Amino acid sequence: MITRRTLAGAVGASALLPAVVQARAPAARKAPPGFLWGTAISAHQSEGNNVNSDVWLLENLKPTTYKDRSGDACDSYHRFGEDVSLNAALGFNCYRFGIEWARIEPSEGQFSNAELDHYEAVLKACRAHGQTPIVTLNHFSAPLWFSVRGGWERDDAPELFARYCRRVVERLGPLIGKVTTFNEANIQRLVKVLGLDKPSETHRQMMAAARKATGSERFTTLVTSNPAISEPILLEAHRRAYAAIKAVAPSLPVGLSLTTQQIEAVGENSIAPKIEAEFYGPWIEAGRGHADFIGVQTYMRLRYDAKGWVGWPKDAEMTAAGYEFRPQALAETIRWAHRTFAGKPIYVTESGIATDDDSRRIAFIDQALQGVRQCLDEGIAVHSYLYWSLLDNFEWSSGYDKHFGLVAVDLKTFKRTPKPSAVWLGKRAKADLI
């Protein structure tokens, strides 16, 4: 239960924020009608005990590239009511969360009515607290059985994914506000652009252990699959899922969520245009043809000269995630999405920072919102600002030591403690000020 007392400490702490941050707020203006303010979170990273998923297997292998096991995570599976209530109490009107495929279809062709009931309860909690629920149908993890049979490298994967999406929307569609198929559909291209596509020895050993544990030489996950094989299949999966959802719920907005990092040219003859083309590839056409809106998810700026990536500026402030503090990147990617997708509605479905200095989180959000305001002033249809994330949660291979959340979580007691940044952003949301 979230009460005024729960928020009292964070409210008091907001008085300690840097004066320059507090002074900027009056410069903000009213957001457009219907603007969504909120937070985003994923199933595997917050729910806990996602034991039928492929990522759960990888975390628990020896060796593994995962720093921690997800374990109970934030126990949001059982505490979703508290999380939704907290989101509303802070002042937000939107909650983006994931429905976990591995729970809905724990074995091939077997759909769990109990788990559909669970997510129905989550959606009803959102509606009861005035939250527009934005649902992500796949946030990186997949059912173990799916990955054992070859995952996104199998030709029938689009059919299986679309079947799952249809089943979810048949049951839950009337409660969902908006839906996206994949989280950051072009994630494999980001991995390549960042030069992270060359597996380490530990990674190779982990995958060998996974094949041995499952008895399948075909075992692969979204991130570990061969993009040359899996990307065309993922594209078809998105198209089929879009069609399946529309067949059941024609009026439900179906979006495409992309990782949209700022790609900046430095000097003459920069290769930035080439990198940008590689970064998005065929997902641009997928967004133009099979998406009602575009989800922008921005965390960094990547700079390129004529020879390649020039690295972070020497004097750059760095986040705890190891990249440049650059909230201005969000406005640039919104502009890119507006140009690229011919004015389709744009939703900021993720924007956030990993830091243990909450005053810097507030500064980051403040500057990111300034960029959103600039884009709105330019006539760009931006419909949301969703911060990643509501909770300090399981950050994949980084484990639990990267803190993106507006709310701290005690991993033993699961107590939620809002940070000053939660109250600060909540006040902006309540006032509806961009």
pLDDT tens digits, one per residue of 178-208: 999 999 999 999 999 999 999 999 999 999 9
**pLDDT tens per residue, range 367-402:** 999 999 999 999 999 999 999 999 999 999 999 999
Q: What is the pLDDT of residues 334-366, one digit of tens each?
A: 999 999 999 899 999 999 999 999 999 999 999
Q: Where does 36-183 show beta strands of DSSP type E?
A: 36-40, 94-98, 132-138, 178-182
Cβ neighbours of residue 144 closer than 8 Å, sequence gap 6 or more = 52, 53, 54, 56, 57, 102, 214
Of the candidates 168, 311, 138, the one whose C-alpha atom is nearest the C-alpha of residue 249 is 168
Alpha carbon 277 to chain centroid, angstroms: 22
Q: Which of 2-6, 125-129, 327-331 is least confident? A: 2-6
| Token pair belonging to 304 | 């390129």
Domains in the chain: how many in total?
1
Nearest to 421 by CA among 323, 337, 345, 355: 355
At 3, list the tokens: 């009460």
Judge whether residue 19 has pLDDT over 70.
no
Residue type at 114 in one-letter notation: A
Contacts (Cβ under 8 Å, ≥6 apart) of 198:
none
The pLDDT of residue 368 is 98
Residue 15 has pLDDT above 80, yes or no: no
Percent of the chain predicted with pLDDT > 90: 93
Q: Residue 131 carries which DSSP code?
A: P
365: which 2 tokens?
């959000």
Pairing verdict, β 416-418 and 407-409: antiparallel
pLDDT of residue 27: 73
> What CA–CA distance (Å, rounded) separates 95 from 84?
7
**pLDDT score, position 72:** 98
CATH classification at residue 328? 3.20.20.80
pLDDT at 23: 39
> 98-122 pLDDT, tens per residue?
999 999 999 999 999 999 999 999 9
Looking at residue 21, its pLDDT comes to 44
Domain hosting residue 142, numbered range: 4-431
What kind and span of H or E run contains 146? helix 144-148
Q: If you average pLDDT over residues 298-319, what whole number do you get?
A: 97
51, two tokens: 């034991």
Instruction: Label residue 71 exposed, middle or buried (CB < 10 Å: 0-12, 13-18, 19+).
Output: middle
pLDDT > 70: percent of the chain:
94
Q: What is the pLDDT of residues 206-236, one digit of tens each?
A: 999 999 999 999 999 999 999 999 999 999 9
* Mean pLDDT of the residues in the chain: 94
Q: How many CA atoms lie within 13 A of 100 on its CB side?
A: 29
- In this structure, what token pair is assigned to residue 76? 């949001």
Helix (H) or strand (E) holding 387: strand 382-388
According to the model, what pLDDT value does residue 9 have? 42
DSSP state of 53: B
Beta bridge partners, 324, equal 318
Q: Give me the mean pLDDT over the 402-414 stretch.
A: 98
- Mean pLDDT confidence for 312-329: 97
